[in-house]
Amino acid sequence: MGKVVLKLGKDISTDDIYPGRFMATVLPTETPQFCFNDRTEFNAKLKAKAIPAGSIIVADENFGCGSSREQATSAVKGHELVVIAKSIARIFLQNSVNLGLNLIICPTIEANEGDEIEVQAGKVLNKTSGKEFKTVPLPPARQAIINAGGLIPFTRKRMLESNPR
Amino acid sequence: MGMTVVEKILAKAAGLKSVKAGDVVEPKVDLAMSHENAALVINQFKEIYEGTGREAKPWEPSNIAIIFDHRVPAEGPKTATNQKLIRNFVSQHNIEKFHDIRGDRGGICHQILPEYGYVRPGYVVVGTDSHTTSHGALGAFSFGIGATEMASVWTLGVALNVEVPPTIKVVVKGSFPKHVGPKDLILHLIGKLTAQGANFRVLEFHGKTIQKMSTSGRLAICNMSVEAGATSGIVPADEETVRYLKEEAGVKGKIECVVPDDDAVYEQIVDVDVSALAPQIACPHTVDNVKPIDQVAGKPVQQVVIGSCTNGRLDDLAAAAKIIKGKKVAQGTRMLVFPASGRVFAQALDAGYIHDFMKAGAVVMNSGCGPCLGVHQGALGDDEVALATTNRNFKGRMGNPKSEVYLCSPAVAAASAITGVITDPRKGGK
């Protein structure tokens, strides 16, 4: 269970999640400080560790559109936030699967900041409004990467199964 | 059942007879491109090998391209150190398709790849940059990926778990009116499809207008296909593709064109007629907020930017120079020009365009991504407005969340630089 800490509209770009001017910073250990940097108040709360792990960002359609910058994913992942969006842009979705960011596609989600949300198999419960919403499973090919713990362990295993060079 | 171009490319690259939309395949990668974010790719690549006892060596150095363009020359010590780290990796692994910060062979990755003939029809191209969609202009299946996925490609030589995307066929007819071109077409199309209308899909371009379009124009439309969410844009290779690769990219030998089957299955067919198209403007803060120019003409702009991987090619500079030659950039407006590559810069010098720009009062900058994404030069002040031939107008894109960015063609940008307000080049300024 987690609380909705940020409610966003549609077409939230990676420039919003992680502004381009911080792109010289690349390491997942360093990117979280710039997470939603220009949403000053939210960023300040993140940096003050005032937002507990498992807290939820709710977004409308096309979350994460724009650039392929993986910093956008690692910054959100670094704070262990969960993203529930009506739909997600392709590269951001793929990056999230690869890095293990908890991403839930829920086309009908209705929630406000402060609502308590519980994610269950196949659905999302809004404990505050008492409503529940169906989720869309990720394509099975992507699920395999999640099950392996992300793309790095998945690739490592494949590499080790191949003939040594 | 017939196949689309991308289905044909993926079937071949995955060693299959045929594939259809929704299949999951592992295509071999012909070209894997990165820019400064190779620093992160290298980090992730080493992590894959961590503790395995195997040496971290890329699967095939000749299939890897690294081009410095995002922050060139480096804007600070962090970037400079990342670039140094990448240079070391490049020389350690003999990566020959490496373009450092140079005035001759440097430039923006999405211009360098076509210019040097690194992309061929039928190739599978991946790049750690969302505008990797550009290279569909040469009949390749080319798409953006993240850095960790690139590290996986460097390790295995394949793109893992690629779902064959459904294809939207875009059929374009009509001749462009004067001062209207490929950029107006793609902005119009993005407005029509919306920012997510092609998410997880391919845009395959057809029609007389596309057949007659130069590779430069095709690069612009494929480049911005991602702004409709597309995995890739693609123009099936034809005579123009072969001409470009042989004459402009110096490619020798046979070039095989991959074309779709007549009975290929498309998810949707979109028809566009450009014969009455007006110059298009994408208004803040989404690329699909597109309006014909008459609805925004007169808006004051403090910065005009011409360049980028979308519109920094020779014909773009020519269109702008033709309008600005002999005129002056308006007081209160700054004009920045950044050619797409060192070669384009040199050609523009020879053609006199650079002289025209500078005499008009424009600042001509070195090739690079520069102002487009607010990482390096050309940042906007609070409440300032920019008009740019670049590809994104997201809030904060040009380095300041309190500013606005409008997107347009080179002709509109040049006409507006003279007046200081958004100006229809068909009507001219004061």
Environment class of B91 (CB within 10 Å of its CB; exposed 0-12, middle 13-18, buried 19+): exposed
Both tokens of residue A145?
A: 């990467």
CB neighbours (10 Å) of residue B326? 8
Environment class of B275 (CB within 10 Å of its CB; exposed 0-12, middle 13-18, buried 19+): exposed
Q: What is the 3-state secondary structure (H, E, C) of B276-309?
A: CCCCEEECCCCCCCEEEHHHCCCCECCEEEEEHH
Task: State whether residue B268 is helix, strand or coil.
Answer: strand
Does the beta-carbon distance from A145 to B399 stay under 8 Å?
no
Q: Which amino acid is at B103?
A: G
Answer yes or no: are the C-beta atoms of B24 and B121 closer than 8 Å.
no
Is residue A76 included in any domain, yes or no?
A: yes
d(CA B208, CA B188): 18
Is residue A161 included in any domain, yes or no?
A: no
- Do B222 and B353 lie in one domain? The reply is no
DSSP secondary structure of A76-145: HHHTT-EEEES-B-HHHHHHHHHHT--EEE-TT----TT-EEEEETTEEEETTTTEEEE-BPPPHHHHHH
B199 CB near a chain A CB, below 8 Å?
yes
- Do B198 and B166 lie in one domain? The reply is yes
Q: Using CB atoms, which residue from B40, B151, B399 is nearest to A26?
A: B40
- Do B47 and B144 lie in one domain? The reply is yes
Both tokens of residue A89?
A: 């842009």
A15 CB near a chain B CB, below 8 Å?
yes
Does the beta-carbon distance from A98 to B149 stay under 8 Å?
yes
Is residue A48 included in any domain, yes or no?
A: yes
Instruction: Give the pLDDT score at A13.
Output: 96
pLDDT at A165 over 90: no
Query: Which residues in chain A are closer than 8 Å to B148, comparing Cβ atoms?
Result: 70, 95, 98-99, 150-152
d(CA B167, CA A13): 24
- Do B286 and B234 lie in one domain? The reply is no
Residue A62: left if φ>0, alpha if ψ -120 to 50, beta else—which one? left
- Do B201 and B334 lie in one domain? The reply is no
Is residue A158 included in any domain, yes or no?
A: no
Does the beta-carbon distance from B395 to A13 stay under 8 Å?
yes
**pLDDT tens digit string along B95-120?**
999 999 999 999 999 999 999 999 99
- Do B219 and B334 lie in one domain? The reply is no
What's the rounded mean pLDDT across residues A155-163?
91
- Do B268 and B286 lie in one domain? The reply is no
Is residue B12 included in any domain, yes or no?
A: yes
B52 CB near a chain A CB, below 8 Å?
yes
Is residue A163 included in any domain, yes or no?
A: no
Query: Which residues in chain B are closer than 8 Å to A20, comparing Cβ atoms?
Result: 373-375, 396-397, 399
Q: Which amino acid is at A162?
A: S
User: Which residue, B19, B264, B40, is CA-closest to B163?
Assistant: B19
Both tokens of residue B46?
A: 């080493």
CB neighbours (10 Å) of residue B76? 10
- Do B108 and B169 lie in one domain? The reply is yes
Is residue B428 included in any domain, yes or no?
A: no
CB neighbours (10 Å) of residue A113? 12
User: Number of folded domains in chain A?
Assistant: 1
**pLDDT tens digit string along A50-76?**
999 999 999 999 999 999 999 999 999
- Do B245 and B307 lie in one domain? The reply is no
- Do B95 and B178 lie in one domain? The reply is yes
DSSP, res A3: E
pLDDT at B375 over 90: no
Is residue A19 included in any domain, yes or no?
A: yes
CATH number at residue B407: 3.30.499.10
Exposure on the CB side of residue B76, measured as CA atoms within 13 A: 9
User: Number of folded domains in chain B?
Assistant: 2
Q: Which residue of A has its CA nearest to B200?
A: A90
Across the beta sheet with A116-120, the strand order is A103-105, A82-85, A56-59, A2-8, A116-120, A123-126, A131-134
Is residue B426 included in any domain, yes or no?
A: no
- Do B136 and B284 lie in one domain? The reply is no
Domain hosting residue A120, numbered range: 2-136
Is residue B425 included in any domain, yes or no?
A: no
Q: Could you tell me the pTM of the whole model?
A: 0.97
Q: Which of A10, A15, A39 to mutate to test the interface with B (most CBs of B within 10 A)?
A: A15
**pLDDT tens digit string along A74-128?**
999 999 999 999 999 999 999 999 999 999 999 999 999 999 999 999 999 999 9
Is residue B430 included in any domain, yes or no?
A: no
**pLDDT tens digit string along B126-160?**
999 999 999 999 999 999 999 999 999 999 999 99
Residue A122: left if φ>0, alpha if ψ -120 to 50, beta else—which one? left
Judging by DSSP bridges, how do beta strands A116-120 and B97-99 pair with one another? unpaired
Domain hosting residue B40, numbered range: 5-272
Q: Which residues pair with B306 in a beta bridge?
A: B337
The residue among B272, B303, B333 that closes a domain is B272
Q: How far is CA A109 from the centre of its chain?
A: 15
Does the beta-carbon distance from A66 to B373 stay under 8 Å?
no
Q: Which amino acid is at B377?
A: Q
pLDDT at B206 over 90: yes
Is residue A143 included in any domain, yes or no?
A: no
Q: Which of A18, A42, A63, A65 to mutate to test the interface with B (most CBs of B within 10 A)?
A: A65
Which ipTM did the prediction report? 0.96
Instruction: Give the pLDDT score at A142.
Output: 86
Q: How far is CA B247 from the centre of its chain?
A: 21
- Do B296 and B267 lie in one domain? The reply is no
Residues 6+ apart with CB under 8 A from A53: A79, A80, A81
Q: Which of B42, B373, B402 to mutate to test the interface with A (most CBs of A within 10 A)?
A: B373
**pLDDT tens digit string along B320-370?**
999 999 999 999 999 999 999 999 999 999 999 999 999 999 999 999 998
CATH number at residue A23: 3.20.19.10
Task: State whether residue B416 is helix, strand or coil.
Answer: helix
What band does B430 get if pLDDT is binned at 50, 70 and 90? very low
Instruction: Give the pLDDT score at A162.
Output: 84
